[in-house]
Amino acid sequence: MTKKVIVNADVGKGTINKNIYGHFAEHLGRCIYEGFWVGEDSDIPNTNGIRNDVVEALRNLNIPVLRWPGGCFADEYHWKDGIGPRENRKRMVNTHWGGVIENNHFGTHEFYMLCDMLDTEPYINGNVGSGTVQEMSEWVEYMTFNGESPMANWRKENGKEEPWKLKYFGVGNENWGCGGNMRPQYYADLYRRFQTYVRDYGDNKIFRIAGGANVDDYNWTEVLMREAAPFMDGLSLHYYVHPGGFWNKGPATGFSEEVWDITMQKTVYTEELIEKHSTIMDKYDPEKRIAIIFDEWGAWYDVEPGTNPGFLYQQNTIRDALVAGISLNIFNEHNDRVQMANIAQTINVIQSMILTDKEKMILTPTYHVFEMYKAHQDAERLDLNIESDSIKVGDKEIPQVSASASKAADGSVTITLCNLDKAKTADLAVDLRGKDLANVSGRIITADEMDAHNTFENPDNVKPVAFDDFQTSGSELTLTLPSKSVLSITIK
Ligand code: AHR
């Protein structure tokens, strides 16, 4: 039966912060090295050591913000090892990720250069787990102090006369786990202390992000908010979809129909997490001044057979396109509290945009969803009501269709729709109120197989195509959403 989607084009629900479309790049596996950074002497075309092909592809996504250097790596990273002449930089062991040598050739200067090339805002994550207050404080001074100071002078000696701008700074990462195995009360006190020395120099105003909860650790949020709310601008939240659980994640391809459904259900669960953490935050911050910074999310599976287990390299299929589309719709719909999200991770790690093999590069289905959704960035969210059939997953029920709508500054409306069902189509009547249904276009990404994906041999197997299979009548647009699809409709 046809289900109704009502979009009120004249009822705005606040801006969708473009940072919801943010990304994350850690010193992990082949994300930084080989992914972004190949070095100036590489045969792979590069600009000052950074791959030209990935920069070109990522610029097309309008990446608003990039988080670096970790992740768990952040709490082992000592920034002073990554500045000055590259040949003199300290070599260390990346103990957390594969035990490989980290030569520190990609450091603060290289990260800012990358952000310039991508035209993106840097989000730097500092080290609380194994670092000191002084080290963190000096990093901020090195990057942002204008004038004479020991760190500013050092920066100038290293070739950067003017300070950089630094907007987003994370004070530790997963301090309940790899960032020090702390209890919330202890971390809350450390957070208060460390952030004191994250100084605002000149007109550089830092948005301070406290390390938040793992998944449904509501006690962590409660304690952090109770003890440290006045000292933070954002509180992070991490949630990964592991179909078989953390210890038995399951493969990225070649999975069963049951696993497809579980993946969808675990993705939809993101909404419950946001709502429950936000409700706790409301108690201490009813004005919603403090943002949820969802700075790690994505579908995390077993590594590809034969690859380094510490490198977290996995394929990316139409299932991941759905994970991305549903998650982004949920973030949009919670734009009152969610002000940033950073999918893990940009290249060659977990749910990537891009996979590389030496000089070759492919775009994943997840990349295409980010591209199809980019009109939502900084647009006004529109009031949306949806009727949907349900899908039964074990003893749970999830909606078959996920949706979000927004209006851009030029008045054009974007509606994004996902059909979570692996086999059934969804008949929809989209009633767009308050805007003429003239000039409608659509793009869809879908596939016949549940694990359809792109390979270096067949890079365009899964990609968006034009969709015009809809009828319009008055304010209503009727269409059939194919199974396992993500659709973006634009009404100019
Ligand atoms: O993204 C991979 C890892 O997942 C990050 O380093 C860590 O923060 C999380 O546990």
Residues with CB under 6 A from ligand 1: 26, 70-72, 173-174, 296, 344-345, 350
pLDDT of residue 120: 98
Looking at ligand 1, which atom is closest to the CA of residue 344? 1
Q: How far is the CA of 251 from the centre of ligand 1 (A)?
A: 18
The packing angle between helices 218-228 and 257-284, to 10°, is 20
What single letter denotes the amino acid at residue 370?
F
Residue 430 has pLDDT above 90, yes or no: yes
Residue 250 Rama label (left phi>0; alpha psi -120 to 50; beta)? left
Whether residue 320 contacts residue 299, with contact meaning beta carbons closer than 8 Å, is answered with yes
Among 23, 26, 77, residue to substitute to test ligand 1 (most atoms within 8 Å of Cβ):
26
Q: How far is the CA of 475 from the centre of ligand 1 (A)?
A: 46
304-307, long-range: CB within 8 Å, 24+ apart, which pairs?
304/252
Structure-block tokens of residue 230:
């006045």
Looking at ligand 1, which atom is closest to the CA of residue 26? 6
486: nearest Cα among 413, 401, 405, 380: 401
Give residue-wise pLDDT tens across range 362-407.
Answer: 999 999 999 999 999 999 999 999 999 999 999 999 999 999 999 9
Give residue-wise pLDDT tens across range 228-272.
Answer: 999 999 999 999 999 999 999 999 999 999 999 999 999 999 999
Sequence-distant (≥ 6) Cβ neighbours of residue 158 within 8 angstroms: 83, 84, 109
The catalytic residues are: 174, 296
Looking at ligand 1, which atom is closest to the CA of residue 312? 2
Cα separations in angstroms, 430 against 63, 265, 369, 396, 406 = 29, 24, 21, 27, 14
CA–CA separation, 463 vs 368, rounded Å?
Answer: 7
What single letter denotes the amino acid at residue 225?
M
The protein residue whose alpha carbon is closest to atom 2 in ligand 1 is 71
CA–CA separation, 111 vs 102, rounded Å?
Answer: 15
CA–CA separation, 367 vs 348, rounded Å?
Answer: 12
Provide the 8-state DSSP code for 474: T
Among 24, 68, 72, 125, residue to substitute to test ligand 1 (most atoms within 8 Å of Cβ):
72
Across the chain, mean pLDDT equals 97
Binned at pLDDT 50, 70 and 90, residue 74 comes out as very high
CA–CA separation, 152 vs 140, rounded Å?
Answer: 10
Q: How far is the CA of 291 from the centre of ligand 1 (A)?
A: 20
Longest dimension (CA), the chain: 70
CA–CA separation, 376 vs 490, rounded Å?
Answer: 11
Give residue-wise pLDDT tens across range 435-466.
Answer: 999 899 999 999 999 999 999 999 999 999 99
The protein residue whose alpha carbon is closest to atom 3 in ligand 1 is 71
The protein residue whose alpha carbon is closest to atom 7 in ligand 1 is 71
pLDDT of residue 1: 86
Among 102, 123, 176, 178, residue to substitute to test ligand 1 (most atoms within 8 Å of Cβ):
178
Among 24, 239, 296, residue to substitute to test ligand 1 (most atoms within 8 Å of Cβ):
296
pLDDT of residue 438: 84
Decide: helix, strand or coil at residue 213.
strand
476-481 and 426-433 beta bridge pairing:
antiparallel
Give residue-wise pLDDT tens across range 22-66.
Answer: 999 999 999 999 999 999 999 999 999 999 999 999 999 999 999
Q: How far is the CA of 153 from the centre of ligand 1 (A)?
A: 34
Q: How far is the CA of 245 from the centre of ligand 1 (A)?
A: 15
The protein residue whose alpha carbon is closest to atom 6 in ligand 1 is 71
Residue 258 C-alpha from the chain's centroid: 26
Give the pLDDT mean for 209-235. 98
Provide the 8-state DSSP code for 215: T
Q: How far is the CA of 350 from the centre of ligand 1 (A)?
A: 10
The protein residue whose alpha carbon is closest to atom 5 in ligand 1 is 71
Q: How far is the CA of 52 from the centre of ligand 1 (A)?
A: 27
Sequence-distant (≥ 6) Cβ neighbours of residue 220 within 8 angstroms: 176, 184, 212, 213, 214
Looking at ligand 1, which atom is closest to the CA of residue 96? 6
pTM of the model: 0.97
121-126 and 65-68 beta bridge pairing:
parallel
Give residue-wise pLDDT tens across range 130-166.
Answer: 999 999 999 999 999 999 999 999 999 999 999 999 9
Looking at ligand 1, which atom is closest to the CA of residue 173? 8
Whether residue 27 contacts residue 102, with contact meaning beta carbons closer than 8 Å, is answered with yes
Looking at ligand 1, which atom is closest to the CA of residue 350? 1
CA angle, 56 then 58 then 62, to 5°: 115
